[in-house]
Structure 1
Amino acid sequence: MNQPTTNETRLFTELRKLSPKVTGGLLRMRQEAYRDAAVAAKYKLLTAMAISIAIRCEPCIRAYVQMACDKGATQDELIEFLEVAMTMQGCPGEEWALKAYAAYKGSIRGEQSASSAQCCAH
């Protein structure tokens, strides 16, 4: 998914004001789901990354890699989750896992892209 245009951002903001309970629900779900609890947040985020690979959502892949790194995920942990994603999908999984690995390499170099700030730009 591409970065939202100024108009899309303005429309989303307007819709969120008109429907705050539903439109803001995804953000609230993410805050709750990806918190540290019985399972550390970084593992939940790595799981979300693996699912993003499976559904082939590149903005989500970049966002979850960045968030997992921000929560302290190591390269070894990331690689193991990439291995799971590749195992589940075969050749397409490898192609999309490469996108996640590239995002990781960018993250450790401090190259956080604007599109990695939020999954699907919302």
Structure 2
Amino acid sequence: MPEKDFIAISRSVSKGAATLRKAHPELMQAFSGVGKAVYPDGALDNKTKELIALAIGVTVRCDGCVAHHAMACLDKGATREEVVEAIAVAIHMGGGPSMVYGAEALEAYDQHVKDRL
């Protein structure tokens, strides 16, 4: 199976969001508002929330979610080891399909690391 380009997928997600923002600004403003309400530090810090989001992306097998949240995990200072543990929880909850997709999530994180070197 060819390697997915998660950097390109991240860019595509951003482009798609911009297109939706122009087509339905009220919807995208509301969606952005949910993120602004959810992601600030609280009982859980932002990094932990991004690790949770990455794990959910694995369980639902969403390329765009994994690409975006792998980059966000890196932005928030998550280590590769923390990403691996979040993926492990996703695999536990999602079974075999999450195991297959968990490897892709780790590849997404690694691609974002390499892209920043």
Structure with the higher helix share, 1 or 2: 2
Q: Which residue of 2 aligns with 1:115?
A: none
Which 5+ residue runs of structure 1 have no aligned equivalent?
A: 112-122
Aligned partner of 2:103 among 69, 92, 98: 98
Q: Percent identity?
A: 27
Distance 2:90 2:17 in 1: 32
Normalising to structure 1: TM-score of the pair? 0.75
Instruction: Quote the offset at 1:11 in angstroms.
Output: 5.8
Normalising to structure 2: TM-score of the pair? 0.78
Q: Would the alpha carbon gap of residues 8 and 58 (structure 1) be closer, same or farther in structure 2, given more than 3 Å must change?
A: closer
Matched residue SS, 1:69? helix
1:71 aligns with 2:80: no
Which 5+ residue runs of structure 2 have no aligned equivalent?
A: 1-8
> Which residue identity lines up with residue 87 of structure 1 in the other structure?
H
Q: Which residue of 1 aligns with 2:29?
A: 24
Aligned partner of 2:46 among 41, 64, 77: 41
Q: Which residue of 2 aligns with 1:15?
A: 24
**What is the aligned length?**
105
RMSD: 2.3
